[in-house]
Chain A
C-alpha cells in the first residue's frame, strides 16, 4: 500500500536543501490556494525523489531530489511565506 507521510518525514533533507528548518514554514498551494505548514504536506518519499503534494487538492507542490549527495528542492506549485 502506498501510504503517504508528511513534511516531517523529509525535514532533514529540507534542511539540507534550504539551509534552515522548513517544517514550520507556511506555504500556499498555487493550484488551489490552500495554505498549510510544510510539515502538513502529503509526502511520498519512496521514489526517485520525495514528492510533496497539497493535502487539499493533491497537486504536486514540491519535489526534492538528491544528486551526488546534494539535496535540491523544486517548488512547482508552492509559495512559501517570507522566510524570517
Chain B
C-alpha cells in the first residue's frame, strides 16, 4: 500500500459510517467510508471531533483497528462509564451518519511488516485495538515473523476480537495468551490474574531473542508491564508504549 507523502497539514475530513459491529457489550466497531483517506500504518490513530447543535465540540483519539491492506477503515470504540464521546459512538451513531475526523496520526507506535521480528504485542482492555491492526497487517504481509500476543481483560466476555484471536492462534507462527483478571471460566487454562513478571517470563520472548515489543492499554497497565519486561532483562528501547485513558476536560 503506497504511503502518501506528508503534506505538512493534518486536515479534518468528513467520513460516513458504513456499518457497525458489536464486538463486546461495551465495545463497538465502526466501519467508515473516508473519501480522502491517504492510507495508514498499523498502530496509527485518528482524532474524532463531535459538534453539538449549539456549537459545543468534543474531541477524542481512537486507534485504527484495520490493517493498511483492508478495504475499509475500521475504528473500535469502548464505551467509558461517564464518557462524553464514547457512549455516543457506541450507542447513538448509526450507518449513514457522518463523522468528522483527522488522521492518520502517529509515527512512533507503528509496526510495518518490513520491520524485523519477532513481535511481542501486549494489551490491556481496549489497548488491543491498534495491535489488532498490526496483526491484520501481519496476516496480509505473509512474512515469516513470529508473533506472541498477550492480552489482559477482566473476563472472557470482555475480550475484544476474541474469535479473531482464536483464528490467529491457529497460525503456526502466532501464539496467543489471554490473562483474565476478575472472572474466568471454571476450567480456564489461560492465565488467572494480572500480567506480572512471572507470567511474562513464561509468555514473552526471552530478551536474547530480541523481540520488538508494543504495549498498549490503561496507564497503570502499561507502566506495570513495561517495568516488568525491563526487570526481566528487556532493554527499554525495544519497548514501545501507548497509554489509553480519559481525556475529557
Contacts and interface: CB of A to CB of B under 8 A. Distances in A.
A and B touch in the complex (CB under 8 A): yes
Interface of A: 3-9, 11-12, 15-16, 19-24, 37-40, 45-47
Contact of A15 (B105, B108, B109, B218): B105
Interface in B1-55: 6, 8-10, 45, 47
Contact of B242 (A6, A15, A19, A21): A6
Given A8-B106, A12-B61, A46-B249, 18 more contacts: A3-B218, A4-B219, A4-B243, A5-B244, A5-B247, A8-B61, A9-B243, A9-B247, A16-B10, A19-B8, A21-B6, A23-B107, A23-B109, A24-B108, A39-B240, A39-B241, A40-B108, A45-B249
Interface of B: 6, 8-10, 45, 47, 61, 102-103, 105-109, 218-220, 240-249
B103 A12 contact: yes
Contacts of A8: 45, 61, 106, 108-109, 242-243
A5 B219 contact: yes
Closest 9 CB pairs of A and B: A39-B108, A21-B107, A23-B108, A24-B107, A24-B108, A12-B47, A46-B249, A15-B10, A19-B8
B198 to A, nearest CB: 25
